[in-house]
Chains A and B, each alone.
Chain A
């Protein structure tokens, strides 16, 4: 059946698959959010260690999902991979630096003779959870605001500024996107602490942190939503493939794709409910509503950027160099092969969910941190 799909359908399918991976990554940034809570929500060394060990059992999933997101973009949309990573060089490099710091921080923080001291590794985690997520948000923001680049006849990228992508963080929309993700991640992180930690005082503060961070995220969310429905967008003529500016493009996309509008609104409501349930109703399951909501919002954002004849990586300096899911994609053969590979994804999600359930069946307690397995703890 997959072999009979035409190229256009495969391109749309792969934008969906990539969007799902990207949206799952956004949910899993609760790990990054949790990392930033160690300096605000934890008041003692023990509480800090509880948070770090809670997040530490999931950090690799987030990391791996990011790597898969990159791999899927490389395999399915190589021209985006080449253009964005090669052009917006410094944004991606800084994001990568923060993830290098994260990767070692869990394992090394509590180990004796760790060279840099526990505090340094905690700061590394904070940098990853704040600067790293902010820059990822700014990079995604450029899907709507565009970047300064041009492609020659061999699709070699030439970036228009010497800041190589850092200029994205100076744009209000992009910056708002980044800050929204930072506070959303903190909200999710607090919800996960409530779900997984058995420590009354810490959980109480984490419940409070969920709504405080949601409130902090709201102004940025409003800027994003207001901008999205009012801004000009980058449209593609489906016949000629020419890119042109369309007034109210993303509003048109929302109205033209009601499912996306439903996902966006449903997602936001789900996140808000998750916060209310955790912060005010004393429930522990808020993370699942927050997570589902985040995935839905992520899917809506990626759909707005890529579907309905829209250029998902627009160039503001050379409009015709803008990338669409059609001109940036891999060949039909490669997308077909990768679609067969993607059939394994439900199986992968299945065993992840099974192991998650097993490992989270019991909450994390202070006693476990000092048990016979203490040497393995973060």
Chain B
């Protein structure tokens, strides 16, 4: 039975990861391209130049093809919380459901309503209203990102809530604490700026292809300039917000930070590992080296984590086994108190059912003393509190390296555009084309850091994934996993082929 539950959890996690990763192929492009299309159309309306209209419609077509499959994968994510994570849905639905409903009311309808005008309203509404509609689709896309990222941020940093032992669930106490938590703010700004960056890479890259093929050169150069400006600003903002996001991780999810840096033993003047090869045999508490090879920059991790290069950054061992000197209670100790909380909660519920008020009161008192570690009571071993270090480490470093590269690409595009020799820079155009793929790699890596780095928690520190999932036979989740895999892959292939055909045809279509 135990194995089956674990297995169901694994498949549910795999399914969510699959859906989220597919979803995040399409959504960042939608988020960023919606604004770029709005920029292009704004220039058209201001100048009245039909060439800008043609350019707008070309990118709009690619936006539409991408948007549809983003919608298709998005609906699954929402409902998957219910189908595969029903215990989660009950235990935190009081808090988590609200942002999803607000997203529907404020964002989805804005997108859905004005999307039709954007595509079919050229001759049905005025030029000004059409432009307004295009902007509304862009605003709607970002509003959608606000609320889903508020929800995700709450999973990383649960705040504004309290546990209700009578209902056996967490309940919201402060909506504003949930909506405006620092993690939510930085998650939104970092994620959306990265999406703007990706869309800019996409426009710059496809335009570069036109330059390489010596087709639609005027349109391509115009698109590249607008996208490179947008992309450069977005990439700088993305780096800044990324630093803020990492600062939050250091304080709200120290285990995640330790994992993404492969830091096992906490230290002062902790270094950043600029590059390294993780020792896959390394386990918490053993004496093996964390890396086979590494390049360190001393003090930088301390600086990033605490804004002080000499400060102490806890390592995985400190967070698993505790560090009395630094006043860190480890997962090992927290499991002990957590198990008391779990047992007393059960005793409280049983006593309530039997009408034994005295027993209920004593159980509740003990529960309240230990409830801060309730989630740890469901862990099977202290080492389970450690996320997969290698995946988190490599994903983080790939994201950072690529994130550093992109602003340089945009700068070079702008430099050669200013010189008027963009079409002659074959190497740069090839690099821009390759950057589309690299942009997607960075996007996926970013979410792997966020989500794999949070493991084993569905809700950081409160609810591990093995408690959050639905009680259902593994075969059901396994079957739907493969159905989704086949379906999404087929639709992705269709999307890529349609996009390639549209690009091949160009703005003349």
Contact = CB atoms under 8 A, between A and B. Distances in A.
A64 B112 contact: yes
Interface string B109-149: 10111111101111111000100010000000000000000
Contacts of B502: 111-112
Interface in A59-112: 60-61, 63-64, 66-68, 70-72, 74-76, 78-79, 81-87, 89-90, 92-93, 96-97, 99-100, 103-104, 106-108, 111-112
Contact of B95 (A58, A90, A334): A334
Given A67-B78, A330-B94, A351-B113, A74 B101 contact: yes
A158 interface: yes
Given A61-B113, A68-B105, A156 B87 contact: yes
A344 B112 contact: no
A93 B480 contact: yes
Interface in B215-256: none
Contacts of A71: 78, 97, 100-101, 103-104
A70 B102 contact: no
B97 A74 contact: yes
Interface residues of B, number: 88
Nearest to B168: A154
A114 interface: yes
A376 B57 contact: yes
Interface in B167-202: 167-169, 171-173, 175
B106 A89 contact: no
B65 A111 contact: yes
B305 interface: no
A57 interface: yes
A96 B79 contact: yes
Given A104-B491, A153-B353, A358-B129, A63 B112 contact: yes
A331 interface: yes
B108 interface: yes
B101 A338 contact: yes
A373 B82 CA distance: 41
A113 interface: yes
A97 B79 CA distance: 11
B494 A344 contact: no
B471 interface: yes
A186 interface: no
A104 B82 contact: no
A1 interface: no
A104 B95 CA distance: 31
A115 B494 contact: yes
A112 B86 contact: no
Contact of A376 (B64, B67, B98, B472): B64
Tell me if B's interface is mostly helix, strand, loop or mixed. Answer: helix
B83 interface: yes
Interface in A255-299: none
A83 B106 CA distance: 27
A115 B500 CA distance: 12
A352 B119 CA distance: 16
Contacts of B501: 111-113
A104 B105 contact: no
Contacts of B109: 61, 64, 68, 348, 352
Interface string B473-509: 1001000100100010011011101101110010001
Interface stretch (B33-41, B69-77, B265-273, B451-459): B69-77
Contact of A359 (B86, B125, B500, B505): B125
B44 interface: no
B470 interface: yes
A90 B84 CA distance: 11
A75 B103 CA distance: 11
A57 B172 contact: no
A331 B121 contact: no
A2 interface: no
Given A103-B75, A113-B498, A348 B105 contact: yes
Contact of B498 (A87, A114, A333, A338): A114
A157 interface: yes
A8 interface: no
18 contacts: A60-B111, A68-B109, A71-B104, A75-B98, A78-B93, A81-B97, A82-B82, A100-B72, A100-B73, A104-B69, A108-B65, A116-B490, A330-B98, A331-B172, A338-B101, A348-B105, A358-B125, A375-B61
Please give me the 8 A-B residue pairs with the lowest Cβ-Cβ distance, nearest first.
A86-B86, A78-B93, A85-B82, A75-B97, A74-B97, A68-B104, A103-B72, A60-B112
Interface of A: 53, 57-58, 60-61, 63-64, 66-68, 70-72, 74-76, 78-79, 81-87, 89-90, 92-93, 96-97, 99-100, 103-104, 106-108, 111-116, 153-159, 162, 164, 330-331, 333-334, 337-338, 341-342, 344-345, 348, 351-352, 355, 358-359, 361-362, 368, 371, 373, 375-377
